[in-house]
Structure 1
Amino acid sequence: MWLSIGLFLLCFQGCLSLTGPGSVSGYVGGSLRVQCQYAQSYKGYTKYWCRGPHDKGCKSIVETDGSEREKKNGRVSIRDHAGNSTITVTMENLSEDDAGSYWCKIQTVFIWDFLSRDPSVRVKVHVFPATTPMETTLPAITPFLPLVDPGQNLRIRSSTMLIFQLWSLLSSVHFQVLVFLKLPLFLSMLCAIFWVSRKIPEGM
């Protein structure tokens, strides 16, 4: 009985010794950052970031070496900030396959290690499709046209048509005068001049 109570207290203490954001989100091609807070009693312990539906047996991705140096594995890095007891995990160049359940965990050693669990906290990662830039649509510009009275417009067109018809008529009359009056008169004058020029030598 006392053994069961002891194991329960150890597990309960482990659950309270590590906290996290619960869930984080990012976009495809972008990056996200996770921060988990741990109790000061776990300074110097190895912290790691693993993936899986359950904390027991999850697949470790990257882990610290007990120092504050950043450790990196591919697109994922982890760093232990002992000063404020914080684990920072950064995931870069996200893809939709990165979405899932992850765990912040602290590697510990217990006497009954096969019965115990490392302190852990679950973090749900959501990855959304990359956003596209918003297209800016300019409002349509309506050309400004002066207002014209329909009656005035009709009168202008009627006047224009009348002028055109008169001009056509005058052009036709002028052509007729040129052909039937001016041209015969001009020819008559030429004949008279020619006749007079022939009569003058005979008189002399």
Structure 2
Amino acid sequence: MWLPSALLLLCVPGCSSLSGPSTAMGTIGGSLSVQCRYEEKYKTFTKYWCRQPCLFLWNQIVATRESEEEVRSDHVSIVDHSGDLTFTVTLENLTADDAGKYRCGIATILHEEGLLGFLPDLFFQVQVFVSPRSLPGSVHFLLLILVKVPLFLTMLSAVLWVNRPQWAVCGKQSRPDEDNNILS
């Protein structure tokens, strides 16, 4: 009686058989990738990504078919890198609607006969955040306009001031071509 309960404790969401980031961030129009790591015993299992709640009939799911083969669904792709025991999910052309909770999982239900057929899927939750624009990019632009350009212009003015032509010689105004005649 205690065996099924103990097995369920081994495969609760977020267990060590499957791991990855709990959050992922991207910007509108950009892309983001999530890498999920699994144990070798799950090498041949189907890996998937879905928006929570993962109700197979209502939510779009992208799932692996074979190792190293990219599977695409709309702007989401998944690739199983079985040699590294990882699979990577990539969301491209992000929109604000892509923000939310997702599941990075391994389909274990009915994968093999016997006891394993009764185990729930392995998965962990990933919170996806999508920001309106790249913060570092906008900060750099503001820094460029408000600090770097004025600083550059100030330095350029100082260099031009220091290197300005010295036409006054001993209180007498002269032109540069007259100075050459005096020296010769």
Q: TM-score, normalised by structure 1?
A: 0.60
1:126 is matched by which residue type in structure 2?
A: F
In structure 2, C-alpha distance between the alignment counterparts of 1:115 and 1:39, rounded to whole Å:
19
Q: Which residue of 1 aligns with 2:87?
A: 87
Q: Which residue of 2 aligns with 1:16?
A: 16
Aligned with residue 141 of structure 2, among 134, 143, 150: 134
Pair member with larger Rg: 1
1:77 is matched by which residue type in structure 2?
A: S
Q: Which residue of 2 aligns with 1:62?
A: 62
The yes-or-no answer on 1:121 pairing with 2:128 is no
Question: Residue 105 of structure 1 contacts residue 120 of structure 1 at CA under 8 Å; is this kept in 2?
Answer: yes
In structure 2, C-alpha distance between the alignment counterparts of 1:5 and 1:91, rounded to whole Å:
36
Q: Which residue of 2 aligns with 1:184?
A: none
Other structure's SS at 2:88 match: strand
In structure 1, C-alpha distance between the alignment counterparts of 2:78 and 2:46, rounded to whole Å:
11
Other structure's SS at 2:90 match: strand
In structure 2, C-alpha distance between the alignment counterparts of 1:84 and 1:105, rounded to whole Å:
17
Question: Residue 108 of structure 2 contacts residue 119 of structure 2 at CA under 8 Å; is this kept in 1?
Answer: no
Q: Which residue of 2 aligns with 1:77?
A: 77
Q: Over residues 120-170 of structure 1, what are the superposed CA-to-partner deviations in whole Å (9 max), with x where a residue is unaligned?
A: 01111000002447141443879x9xxxxxxxxxxxxxxxxxxxxxxxxxx
Other structure's SS at 1:79 match: strand
Question: What stretches of structure 1 of length at least 5 have no aligned partner?
Answer: 145-204
Deviation at 1:108, TM superposition (A): 1.4
Count how many residue pairs are aligned between Structure 1 and Structure 2.
Answer: 143
Other structure's SS at 2:15 match: helix
RMSD: 3.1
Deviation at 1:10, TM superposition (A): 4.8
Q: Identity percentage over the alignment? A: 44
1:67 is matched by which residue type in structure 2?
A: S
Other structure's SS at 2:97 match: helix
Other structure's SS at 1:94 match: coil
Q: Which residue of 1 aligns with 2:101?
A: 101
Of Structure 1 and Structure 2, the greater helix share is in 1
Q: TM-score, normalised by structure 2?
A: 0.65
In structure 1, C-alpha distance between the alignment counterparts of 2:55 and 2:8, rounded to whole Å:
16
Q: Which residue of 2 aligns with 1:34?
A: 34
In structure 1, C-alpha distance between the alignment counterparts of 2:77 and 2:24, rounded to whole Å:
16
Of Structure 1 and Structure 2, the greater strand share is in 2
